[in-house]
Chain A
């Protein structure tokens, strides 16, 4: 757990594993619906021209979310 960082800090091209989701309510729900649960592996594949939102590659699909939504996701680099 000591290596956990907010997902916002990941750079394009970095891979990470989800450690915890701290969002509640609708946001928490939507994040989990997309398969972002503890243990899920992801890679940051891009950022929008204004650096926000961010694009993530998960198993079999690409997902995008805003930086302030990524703040609720703790990851550790792999």
Chain B
């Protein structure tokens, strides 16, 4: 009879847990999110004989406290989903530390199978592990594995099925270890109280709950308080034992618990489980040696700059061709619609709303894929941790984390990036406050879509110092991002820096399968978004720029003008006279109509309505519409300005007629030009980025904050520039 066995996969970060998950499930996996948080939820299936194994990948954690989302998720899955077996993947080379999590899982009572992973490396380090003895002492099955090569995986699955069969229908048997003469009596007392009142006993073993009270675990204590008034009595016990510990040993329960857990582990290891011989090739020692160069005082930063530059180059060079394919495809789609549909609203909606909107977003896909591929290489090889290590001192000053550098660079820290993959790169940040500050400030960077705007205005107003001014813009972006982070971290995202304490995993070559899976799952999440939220917003923006239509009398007036010119053209063609001038005249009538239509639309009304607000910054209604359009995508700014100046659709790549118009417009002075440049640099991120921020911050609140706050900041800066310009 075939059965489904539910298995949870636990383990430390860098223990090879993800590799093991991939080795077990292959491509049959599903990535989602736990509701309400940004921790990835990965599940997969595999068959062992008759049995179907449903594998749930728990987030990589060192412990099961309530300090990080990952740890809360891990323990809640074990407590609530009651897996038949928990496989704990251990890095055999750092066995003691890895067993720390295993002990905590065993204290929760779940049937457990230990996978001693990376056994090949442990052997090379000169470690001999007596796995039979370990299995015996801990009373759990232990299997040696090398997840990278797939060695031992079959055996692991067989043991898992056996373990599931053995424990089927049985009550969980939590491990109970001694926490010493001070805590044990208190624990027993608390266990009695818990069992007498059935406090949370349907979810957690009573001793485990008692331990969590001693560790002052916020989540469990909150649950306890809501469940039963006996919680107060437990807290009293904790208070008195804490006081006792402090007065006699100058310590506190949480520390004592950790010491005894490690003591328990050491007592097991010392019974001949591990023997250390001379190392043949110690990967950790080799890694440390590589680090003397890679994180060297002078060489380190140079190598890092080179790597960053390379990533940036590879992403934008290699993705150029596939991005071109996407563009041609959507261009072709647009033309097909143009040729085959009747003129009218539906056609306009399909072309300008749906195809241009979704096409614009899908055009980022190759870019995002290359970016994620390289981030996956950096992460899987261990270099990302070194980048964080080297830059932490600088970034910490601004309330950020060493890992914030990646999102900044990708967003356009080297001019020409893109904030969408940039914001998504912030996923590697595990510190919530630092991550939020990074998400909000990364869009300040000079992304590729802002560049045409900069080039246009710099070309007109700063012809002599173009390169210098462009460089200055990039520097201003960095300065703003860092300073604003510092301000945010001292105001709305206030709070202590998250501890840095971080493993520097040994360098290793990433596996192709791992790279492929990481890249694909992130890219796919992005594509799914393009089909939903982004489609809806792009239709909304299309509607704002289309409705209401021009009043009929105005349309009729334009039509009449066009008819007159058309008749002149027809007459000229018939008589063989030159028609070029007349055709130009026709075009200019059409462009005037486009300008009038735009001004009359909701977006236009917004532009006009914004004039009193925006005039201190020196912007007229044309600029305002362009900026509103820029919310859809910053590329739109130049083309919308073109329409607003009656130039028809301006190609952002070649905007020279627009440049001439701007040069002639008395409204534009060098001061307003600088104000405009800074405004474009700093104001609301484009909506694709906003959606990405929502995804990463997991809250619309912060996504909307980024729109409002960044725009307010941009406005303040622009007004300041213009007003100071007037004084000079």
Contact = CB atoms under 8 A, between A and B. Distances in A.
A35 B501 contact: no
Chain B interface residue bracket vs A: 35 or more
A35 B262 contact: yes
Interface residues on A, range: 20 to 34
Interface in B88-103: 91, 93-97, 100
A68 B65 CA distance: 23
Interface in A15-39: 21, 24, 26-35, 37-38
A48 B62 contact: no
Interface string B82-116: 00000000010111110010000000000000000
Given A28-B254, A53-B393, A69 B300 contact: no
Contacts of B500: 53, 64-66, 69
Given A28-B254, A29-B65, A29-B254, A62 B501 contact: no
Interface stretch (B290-298, B412-420, B645-653, B664-672): B290-298
A50 interface: yes
B14 to A, nearest CB: 8
A74 to B, nearest CB: 12
Which of B96, B297, B389 has most chain A Cβ within 10 Å? Answer: B389
A29 B64 CA distance: 10
Contacts of A63: 501-504
Given A30-B67, A49-B297, A37 B503 contact: no
B258 A66 contact: no
B77 to A, nearest CB: 19
A60 B94 contact: yes
A32 B260 CA distance: 11
A48 B392 CA distance: 9
Given A33-B62, A37-B259, A64 B254 contact: no
Judged by DSSP, the binding face of B is helix
B125 A60 contact: yes
A6 interface: no
A26 to B, nearest CB: 5
B91 to A, nearest CB: 7
A57 B288 contact: yes
Given A26-B499, A34-B62, A21 B255 contact: yes
B287 A30 contact: no
A37 B301 contact: no
B390 interface: yes
B585 interface: no
B686 to A, nearest CB: 35
B394 interface: yes
A4 interface: no
A32 B295 contact: no
Contact of A61 (B63, B284, B292, B297): B284
Contacts of A38: 259
A55 B505 CA distance: 11
Contacts of A50: 393-394
Interface string B467-502: 000000000000000000000000000000011111
Given A48-B389, A65-B500, A29 B67 contact: yes
Interface in B388-410: 389-390, 392-394, 396
B331 interface: no
Given A53-B392, A65-B501, A66-B396, A60 B301 contact: no
Contacts of B297: 49
B172 interface: no
Contacts of A32: 255, 258, 262
B548 interface: no
Given A26-B67, A29-B65, A34-B503, A49 B255 contact: no
Contacts of A28: 254-255
B295 A62 contact: no
Nearest to A40: B262
B252 A69 contact: no
Nearest to A56: B504
A55 B501 contact: no
B288 A52 contact: no
A55 B389 contact: yes
Nearest to B101: A33
A64 to B, nearest CB: 5
Nearest to B276: A59
- The residue in B252, B255, B503 that gathers the most chain A C-beta atoms within 10 A of its C-beta is B255
B506 interface: yes
Given A26-B67, A38-B259, A69-B499, A60 B93 contact: yes
A5 interface: no
B499 A33 contact: no
A65 B503 contact: no
Nearest to A63: B503
A45 interface: yes
7 contacts: A46-B295, A55-B389, A59-B97, A60-B94, A60-B95, A65-B502, A66-B392
Interface of A: 21, 24, 26-35, 37-38, 45-46, 48-53, 55, 57-66, 69
Given A35-B97, A49-B301, A58-B94, 5 more contacts: A55-B389, A61-B505, A63-B503, A63-B504, A64-B389
